[in-house]
Structure 1
Amino acid sequence: MTNHKSIPITSSELGYLWTGFSINDMSKWFLTAFLGLTKDEEIKDLYVFALQITNDLLSERNTILNNEGYPVPIGFSEEDIELNATPLFSNRFLLKYLHTGARLGLEFHSKSLALSTRADVRQYNINCLKSSIRLNDKIVDLLLKKGIYWRTPTLPAPHAPEYIQKSSYLNSWFGDTRPLNSMELANLYQILDLLIIMEALCIGFEQTAKLEETLELVREGMTSIKNQYNTLTDLLKRNNLPIPSSYSAEVIDSKERVFSDRIMVTHLAGLYGSLISQYGFSLGAVMRHDLVKMYTQQIVRAGVLSESITRFLIEKEWIEKIPGALSREV
């Protein structure tokens, strides 16, 4: 049996273990708060299951990091949520939020596994993936059962396999514009899915934030998200493709505090990071010039706001420093 104590974890393993701990810790408190806001027993069961997974993952991450001599993030506490608050979001949103979180978890854990070397870290990430898969399956089943799962469009099957015969396949600024292909559509709809959740969260955060600086950031974020949503949906409209509906109507008109400003802004920062990653991933799969331009512009716009949020967190001393390399400057 391998003696893990003699093999230190790599920077790649450390980065994902530490960041994963921060994400899980924040998620735990959002899950706890949302669990208390729903009366739907089926949704409650899912949140209980998700919370159990999150606590298990936190415990294992804590063990690995402590054994390696790395301090775990301070994170958040019960002071960052109100357990008996008035509901801020509808059941439909709570289920959609959980689904989006499960999807992001699948992506994070698969990347973490791909960058892991040590056997125990690999096994841990395999367990993370298995848990995320089970959670995602349960969520999709319930969305389908309730009839609220939004499916991306079906496409006609070609008569036979085809090669691309003309470089005009790449064009979109001049001449004929070809229809979007299935990979381009899959990634575009995935970005829209995230934007829809971010918009609804921003509306809820704006209603309940206490600090004026938080309000300004959330409002900037909401404007940016709406502009991005409109840019992407305009493209779908031009291609006569269906558009997923906004979840803005799923926010309940309440101004009662549910989350602290710190945890709200931190969550928004994390979602913007995920959004930029989604744009980057999508950019690598596009084969139309206009999509390349559009995604590049959106990455810049999202990056500007992401930097503003990060600066605010630093000024407030609300963001923890991730372990890094030593400075070798003389």
Structure 2
Amino acid sequence: MKGTYYDPGKMESRAVDIIDNVPLNATEIGACWNTYMQYTMFVCIFKYFSQTAEDNEIRPIMEDAVDICAKRVKWVTELFNKEGLPIPFGFSDNDVDLTAPRLFTDPYYLYYMINANKISVGISGLSFVTSGRADVRDFYDRCINSTIHLFNNSINVLLSKGLYVRPPLITVSKNADYVKNQDFLGGFLGERRTLLAQEISALFYGIVTNNVGKRLLMGFRQTARSNQVRKYMDRGIKLANNLIETFSSSLTQEDIPDPVQWDFMVTDSTTPPFSDKLMMYHTILITTAGILNYAASLATSPRHDLVVHYTKALNEVANYSEDGINIMIDNGWYEEPPRTVDRRKLVNKPKH
């Protein structure tokens, strides 16, 4: 098979033949399975976005995303066929109505794209560094590069339109120094130290990602067919509101402004463009991404009050995600990921 050899002394790479006939391992199967599920969903999402986008600069980005996502689905399909693995059901044209009126505004499409690509870079990066086969690593290498391509194009258009929400500007000390005492970790009683730059960043992006997710769930809530799904989306909106309020208060207490309001992002359409199955899967996907984000924020925010905020957020989001999986199982929507054969059931029991 064709792999890629990287010369550490050069920026460019050259393709070489790597003989690798080993079967896919558990990590590679799991990564590729998730890629198929996620990108069959994204094909549906971006087809609808490209169909309903009105801005001539934004529509081509959505069309580009459809093409990129479809290529990823095709690659995994061919790989699984070659390896004799079952193709997941995933999502199809049956899960999207391209004739439905626009549910979100054009600027939201770009913020959605940025958020989706932040998640994609992390997932593809993890899949890359945990895969051994050259063809799989080469695939995720290309996934990372095409994701960065979409991310850059989206931010550039937002910047050109004056819509990009920048992180806060801060004034920092001109001298390097060491921490003098344990008050550095405080945050409940007494005088609090000011926020670290990395803590401000985590709070800021916690607000932004929750706003993007909240608007997605608002659109899902007003178009869901099932009352059970509608209530689940409503619960997610309330959870996002609580998290936004918590993170915002930590910034405003130190006179650091919140990001702009996002109320113009969702239209008043009640016609469902997506199936309830797709909306539930998508909601669980972004809550899973939220768990990863809060774990990373917890690791880089040593002030005690922030540790409490992120620990609580992790618990609440994990519970919300679990309840969503249970709803999908109840409705026959939750597709089982690949797992090892239960060898206890393979025992040859004597017949009488």
* Interval containing the TM-score (normalised by the shorter chain): over 0.9
Once the 2 structures are TM-superposed, how far is the Cα of residue 270 of structure 1 from its aligned partner?
A: 0.7
Is contact 2:294-2:313 (8 Å) kept?
Answer: yes
Rate the CA distance shift 1:73–1:248 in 2: closer, same or farther, 3 A: farther
Measure the CA separation in 2 of the matches of 1:117 and 1:243. 43
Higher helix share: 1
Once the 2 structures are TM-superposed, how far is the Cα of residue 160 of structure 1 from its aligned partner?
A: 2.2
Rate the CA distance shift 1:165–1:88 in 2: closer, same or farther, 3 A: same
Query: Partner of 2:72 in structure 1?
Result: 57
Residue identity in the other structure for 2:337: I
Query: Partner of 2:30 in structure 1?
Result: 15
Give the 3-state SS of the residue equivalent to 1:82 in structure 2. coil
Measure the CA separation in 1 of the matches of 2:168 and 2:18. 49
Query: Partner of 2:196 in structure 1?
Result: 181
Query: Partner of 2:14 in structure 1?
Result: none
Deviations 1:202-234 (A, max 9, x none): 111111111111111111111111111111111
Query: Partner of 2:242 in structure 1?
Result: 227
Please say which of residues 71-80 and 293-302 is displaced more in the overlay.
71-80
Give the 3-state SS of the residue equivalent to 1:36 in structure 2. helix
TM-score by length of 1: 0.96
Query: Partner of 1:85 in structure 2?
Result: 100
Deviations 1:97-146 (A, max 9, x none): 11111111111111111211111111111111111111111111111001
Given the alignment, which residue of 302, 306, 311 partners 1:296? Answer: 311
1:5-154 paired onto structure 2 within 5 Å: 6-154=21-169
Please say which of residues 224-233 and 241-250 is displaced more in the overlay.
241-250
Larger radius of gyration: 2
Residue identity in the other structure for 1:294: H
Is contact 2:184-2:303 (8 Å) kept?
Answer: yes
* 2:285 matches 1:285: no
| Matched-pair identity in % | 27
| C-alpha RMSD of the superposition | 1.4
Measure the CA separation in 2 of the matches of 1:99 and 1:208. 24
Measure the CA separation in 2 of the matches of 1:117 and 1:222. 40
Relative contact order: is structure 1 or structure 2 higher (C-alpha 8 Å, sep ≥ 6)?
Answer: 1
Measure the CA separation in 2 of the matches of 1:205 and 1:245. 22
Measure the CA separation in 2 of the matches of 1:242 and 1:51. 36
Query: Partner of 2:283 in structure 1?
Result: 268
Is contact 1:203-1:248 (8 Å) kept?
Answer: no
Query: Partner of 1:160 in structure 2?
Result: 175
Please say which of residues 63-72 and 170-179 is displaced more in the overlay.
63-72
Measure the CA separation in 2 of the matches of 1:232 and 1:13. 36
Please say which of residues 120-129 and 185-194 is displaced more in the overlay.
185-194
Once the 2 structures are TM-superposed, how far is the Cα of residue 65 of structure 1 from its aligned partner?
A: 2.4
Residue identity in the other structure for 1:138: N
Gaps of 5+ in 1: none
TM-score by length of 2: 0.90
Give the 3-state SS of the residue equivalent to 2:281 in structure 1. helix
Measure the CA separation in 2 of the matches of 1:188 and 1:68. 44
Given the alignment, which residue of 318, 321, 327 partners 1:306? Answer: 321
Measure the CA separation in 1 of the matches of 2:197 and 2:33. 35
Given the alignment, which residue of 301, 320, 339 partners 1:324? Answer: 339
* 2:205 matches 1:190: yes
Once the 2 structures are TM-superposed, how far is the Cα of residue 39 of structure 1 from its aligned partner?
A: 1.3
Is contact 1:199-1:248 (8 Å) kept?
Answer: no
Query: Partner of 1:241 in structure 2?
Result: 256
Once the 2 structures are TM-superposed, how far is the Cα of residue 298 of structure 1 from its aligned partner?
A: 0.8
Once the 2 structures are TM-superposed, how far is the Cα of residue 329 of structure 1 from its aligned partner?
A: 4.7
Measure the CA separation in 2 of the matches of 1:58 and 1:9. 17
Once the 2 structures are TM-superposed, how far is the Cα of residue 325 of structure 1 from its aligned partner?
A: 2.5
Give the 3-state SS of the residue equivalent to 1:99 in structure 2. helix
Give the 3-state SS of the residue equivalent to 1:165 in structure 2. coil
Once the 2 structures are TM-superposed, how far is the Cα of residue 328 of structure 1 from its aligned partner?
A: 4.7
Measure the CA separation in 1 of the matches of 2:245 and 2:172. 29
Query: Partner of 1:2 in structure 2?
Result: 18
Residue identity in the other structure for 2:192: T
Query: Partner of 2:228 in structure 1?
Result: 213
Residue identity in the other structure for 1:7: V
Please say which of residues 241-250 and 85-94 is displaced more in the overlay.
241-250
Deviations 1:230-253 (A, max 9, x none): 111111111211111342332111
